[in-house]
Structure 1
Amino acid sequence: MDAAFDHSDPGAVATGLDRVRLMWRRGRVRQFRTAALLCLLAAALVVGVALAPAVFPVTALMVPLLLGSLVLNPRQLPWFVGWIVAMVVATLVLQAEVTSRIVAVAVIEGLMAAIVLVTARRRSSLGVAGNTGESMFVDLRDRLLNQGGIPALPAGWLVESALRSASGTPFAGDFLVATVLADDTRLEVVVVDVSGKGDAAGTRALLLSGAFGGMLGALAPEDFLEAANDYLLRQGWDEGFATAVHLSLDLVTGDFSVRSAGHPPAVQRHSGSGRWGVLPSAGPVLGLIEDAEFEVAQGVLGPGDAVLLYTDGMVERPRRDIEMGLDRMLGQAETLLHGSFVGSAERLVASLGSPDDDRAMVVVHRR
């Protein structure tokens, strides 16, 4: 690993810039080499088709075309497609007899080239090659999922989470962010439901998860939802609203506070009575009105107690009142959580809610 350099030293900065330029030049050389190899491959296939048509079919030119669509950047791809079209024309010229079948194959290859160009034009806004763009999406997806990871907690506490998207992919409009602060004595968790569903809301959820993650660790609990509301208002999105529920828990005493922004209420299970109680916090949806205020519900988690945070996909279904959905969730929770809370969030998400909506669940349990 390279040693770190002092940014205040002009010589060190110059060395760093030289390294960046060198890496950039190497990248350009690598891209040029790849494009040149693909062009040579296409030319070799043309010669092969002309000399040994029984071994090299005319359709062989689709191979470099497909490879080029995967590895070349949007700037290189148009002229490479032009090269492939020229090679197809050369193949027709070199044929001893141009049959209707060969003409049909050439037309199909021309259509494939047009499809690749249209796809490249859509990628040009991103500015990367096909496989690179997919790698970026995978990295962004992993970062979104990591934002929702539950940090290690002191002994005596169990926190589990589960997330299901309406589309069945890891991209969803529901997400959660969690962190432990103040020398491992305070847990902060926020569950958010972004407007929209599945992949359509995934990009907004990704942006908000990063922003909310930064605010969650830097602000006092009473300031978090206000800052989140201001952030959404500044974005100016057409569908820029979101609901959220925020839990701040003292891991030493069990004292907690819950604040909600247009979100279904958190619920608490009291181990002594075995009953569930709704935590009455309320507030406007994030991103709609300025200077919003959010009510707080406070309580204490004793040994055996639990708190559930969830999104509306867990309790809402078409033609069913949300109160009925909440009653059903609590009844199912009492059955599924009886005896053990391990794996509880996954069990609840799997058995409850609408498969046509994103669903998220967080279970906080004091052992």
Structure 2
Amino acid sequence: MAIAIWVPDALVSIMSGGISVLHVDDDPALLDLTATFLEREHEKITVTTATSAPDAMARVTNGTVDCIVSDYEMPELDGLEFLETVRGEGHDLPFILFTGKGSEEIASEAISAGVTDYLQKQPGTEQYTMLANRIENAVDRQRARTAQTESEQRYRRLVDRLPIGIAVHRERRLRYVNDAAAAIVDASPEDLEGRAILSFVAPDDRDRIADRLERAECGETPQRWIEFDLEVEAGTESESNSATTTPADKRPVEAIGTPIRFDGESAVQVILRDLTDQRQAERTRRRFETIVESLADGALVVDDGRIVDVTRGLAATVGTDRSVLTGQPWTAIVDESTDDDTLGALEAAVSPTASDTPRSSIDRTLRLRTSESPLEARLELRPFEDTQLASDAFGVVHVSDRRTDERNQ
């Protein structure tokens, strides 16, 4: 059984890459003549007609029109009033004013109103060739703009919610910033777009970053990340190397830029990574090492129930290397002969769940597991109170007053 499906000519034109033209004029004979010549002149053009602006609006609303060609003098609404109605309804279609009423005043008024093109009716058929060319050019430009807009929207949808910072700049000014990049400087994307990119770079780093920007703008693709400091409170239009008058909070970042096309023009996309946590972790690690190495007696650092660091003295006492102990559960140094109450108290203090409760010092006697016989020792758990050094999830188990079983007899 055969099934016949009717598809409007205008929709067929759109689906095939054609151009659907809506011609509006109160002269039916002229409408027929123009449609005949336009479709003969350009095989991709399909013309539908309307004799008044209100009738035409229904066809505009259904979304199957690529271009509007309108007369100027018409009943109910003239051509420019019709244009205003079309734009007011949110339709950004090419609009060509094709009129027999020609004057500099009308042309100026049409341009001011935002018509895409203006063409005065002339005797002869050459005018239809010109009109067909104007229609094709206007639709091609509109489709290119639409494609660019859709491409940018896809880019924004993809990038907006990425957890890494993305910024796009052109001529040293920010054109787009996603939420993750804006959060690095405690701002919103709207606050940053349009600002000078170097105004957020710490003065000591600006010459270096300016050189990198210049190379990226010339199309060079950087092969490595570059580290520098952003100034959170700077945000001024000044790009000089002089310090800002307002103290700024510096945020260490690393970045890499890539030339791209954005809004149809050359630009540079920058990927930003906030290094604040990484730098803090490095400082914490160095301070841990300094503290642990300075302890006269054996000591170890425990985080989430595992050994983070251990002094050489304690490692030597239990008869193993520091590298072997690091990463193991803290109980790796405790002999099984240690009483259960002591083990339970220490486990509660250094376990991962202990960070949910306030820390307190613990002073207990236990037995260390060594390569020879167990060694009795006194352990003092001292949680860190310095928040710059570590959170309260860290603690130092300090071994002092070591006594062997023989000394207790």
**Structure holding more helix per residue:** 1
Q: TM-score, normalised by structure 1?
A: 0.29
**Structure holding more strand per residue:** 2
Q: TM-score, normalised by structure 2?
A: 0.27
Structure with the greater alpha carbon radius of gyration? 2
> Relative contact order, CA 8 A, sep 6+: which one is greater?
1
